[in-house]
Structure 1
């Protein structure tokens, strides 16, 4: 039996490649390196805190000044990178990015210790983006990119009913959140009764619609909807009340009767108003006519009229020729009531040029 053959000696080329690999690995271990390159994606909820890692190791060959820089890489390649925070010459500069002022800081109070991680507080949806950590210490230079996604929890979720809630009709329960990062998932459940969805129901988890076909009174009850995503959930509820069909004919008849009664009442009111207006107008006209026909009230001039009447009667037998020089007694000279009331005294009037005198009672009129 022949002894086994010995393996052939390695060739010169193989030995040269092994030497280069060992030399290269030795050189890498002696240069600056970032040790937190394992996790490159983070998902956090709005309002929470996130720590973007950036730990590094320096070598003896890195003798230049330490420079740590965090930048935000925009989604649009046409835009420039935005410096967020920087450590240089033993100082921290954090006034470059106004949108995060007061909400960011280095995790370590002394980044020279090898920890250049970044803390972002009270996260906002606008903080979503790609962040890059650059560590420089000449001649070593290393960088690392991290993708941050800020998710918004579902909030202000509202439930509603679409369709007629009558027996035999199709009813749709709707659920929608006013806030929340996609992808949102909706789930309906029955709170009261059997706590199981009806057999004829169909659920769309993406849109939040629950279709109930051929509804019956057994479908009545309280239903709850839960909207959720990877960072949170929100809930709303609504009550479904399935009733028998409404008597449409009765409603129409009632509406017609009510309308007719309303019109009748309106016509009666208009008639009453017109009648009252006519009565007021008639009263005004009658009152105006009465005021024009009523004779003036008696006054103290009645005595004077009696006096003048008697005087005219006494002169009735006179001829026109005898009236030429007759002058009427002025109204202001007519005797007053005091004069008439004087009794037992004989008053003598001056005789006219005609010398005609008449005696009235105790008074002699010329």
Structure 2
């Protein structure tokens, strides 16, 4: 292989010398940053100018989107001795140049109170004609584990398998979980299995010696969070007794309910019957005759008959049994003999009418004829 011509070598050396004399960025020691949410980060961008760079100095920080279809977003810029920081609303008030005078050679950027949405690729561009240089930095904002909760799965009984679970509601991957015992014996039971990725601690064939306080620590590259739980392993519950008690209680409750329903129905029937009897009106039945009016009418008719009787027809009347007289139709006032009431017609009038005096047998209190 022949050596390159002398003229070509001279041209390459001249170009290399010219490049070294142009603008250059010196902060190339770190191109990736990982920070926690809420913290502060400084993205470095220091540079050196050359005598050949005579144009105005421009410094731009640009956010390069992950989607290539989207345009780059200018977030802050220094031009003509002035700072412009109102290009990107999502970082307004949270970003600034590290040096208040970037033309001194330090165009580094400070981002305050980091958010997870700040994750992305940032590019620093330094322009001073004819020199132009740029540098990309990858920023990853991680979220610390937070709102970590511990729980128990499975019956806490002797001889059963118990699972202790640990989950963080917040936190950037990759999360790692670690269980430890904080009461009694500090070491975990021998018959236990820990899954650091899922946060599950399996305790096989639990015994009362497993009882105590357990703590779980969730961690990632930027922070940790912790929770704890109390485990109380007890003897098995008498299931048969519980079932029998539940059945007896249920039957007793049903019996009481049925009794109450029966009483309510009976009460309703009684109220309905009393209401029907009380309000029943029969218009087709005439009111009953009083016993006193019946007795008076009967006595009056007998007196009329007696008044018109002659000695010839008294024989048939005297033969009539005294017991056939309807005694139930008479009203007998207490303390009085059952004698016929005296007629209201005077004796002289009866004589003019042709009536014949008749002796009417009297009756004693016991009903015998005197």
TM-score per shorter chain, which class? 0.7 to 0.9
Structure 1 stretches (4+) deviating beyond 4 angstroms?
A: 11-25, 289-295
Match of 1:118 in 2: 109
1:158 aligns with 2:149: yes
Aligned residues: 294
Other-structure match for 1:147:
138
Secondary structure of the residue aligned to 1:150 is strand
How far apart, in 2, do the equivalents of 1:260 and 1:99 lie? 68
In the alignment, what sits opposite 2:67?
76
Change (3 A) 1:277 1:86: same
Name which of 267, 271, 289 aligns with 1:280: 271
Whether 1:88 aligns to 2:113 is no
2:246 is matched with 255
- Find the aligned partners of 1:285 and 1:250 in 2 and give their Cα distance: 53
Where in structure 2 are the equivalents of 1:1-366 lying within 5 Å? 23-289=14-280
What's the offset of the Cα at 1:282? Answer: 2.4
- CA drift at 1:18: 8.0
Residue number in structure 1 paired with 2:354: none
Q: Which moved more, 1:286-295 or 1:266-275?
A: 286-295
Gaps of at least 5 residues in structure 1 are 1-10, 296-305, 318-357, 360-366
CA distance in 1 between partners of 2:4 and 2:227 (Å)? 73
Q: Which residue of 2 aligns with 1:321?
A: none
Counterpart of 2:348 in structure 1 is: none
TM-score normalised per structure 2: 0.73
Deviation at 1:28, TM superposition (A): 3.2
How far does the alpha carbon of each residue in 1:4-40 deviate from its partner, in whole angstroms, 9 at most, with x for none? xxxxxxx996988986676455423321011111111
User: Which stretches in structure 2 are left out of the alignment for 5+ residues?
Assistant: 288-292, 305-343, 346-370
Distance 1:53 1:294, change over 3 A: farther
Q: What are the superposed Cα offsets for residues 26-65 of structure 1, whole Å, 9 maximum, x if unpaired?
A: 4233210111111111111001111101011111110001
TM-score, normalisation: structure 1:
0.74
How much does 1:80 deviate? 1.6
CA distance in 2, matches of 1:63, 1:49: 35
2:75, 2:251 → 1: CA distance? 76
CA RMSD of aligned residues (A): 3.0
Quote the offset at 1:262 in angstroms: 0.7
Residues 146 and 280 (structure 1), Cα distance of their counterparts in 2 relative to 1, 3 Å cut: same
Q: Deviations over 1:303-337 (max 9, x none)?
A: xxx9xx99xx9xxx9xxxxxxxxxxxxxxxxxxxx
Aligned residue for 1:328?
none
Look up the SS of the partner of 1:72 in the other structure.
strand
CA distance in structure 2 between the partners assigned to 1:73 and 1:235 by the alignment: 36
* Aligned mates of 2:127, 2:92 — CA distance in 1: 24
How far apart are 1:122 and its partner, in Å?
Answer: 0.8
Distance 2:150 2:37 in 1: 24
d(CA) in 2 for partners of 1:41, 1:16: 42
Q: Distance in 1 between matches of 2:73 and 2:277?
A: 97
| SS of match in other structure, 2:229 | strand
Q: Partners of 1:74 and 1:12 in 2: how far apart?
A: 47
Cα distance in 2, alignment partners of residues 98 and 22 from structure 1: 47
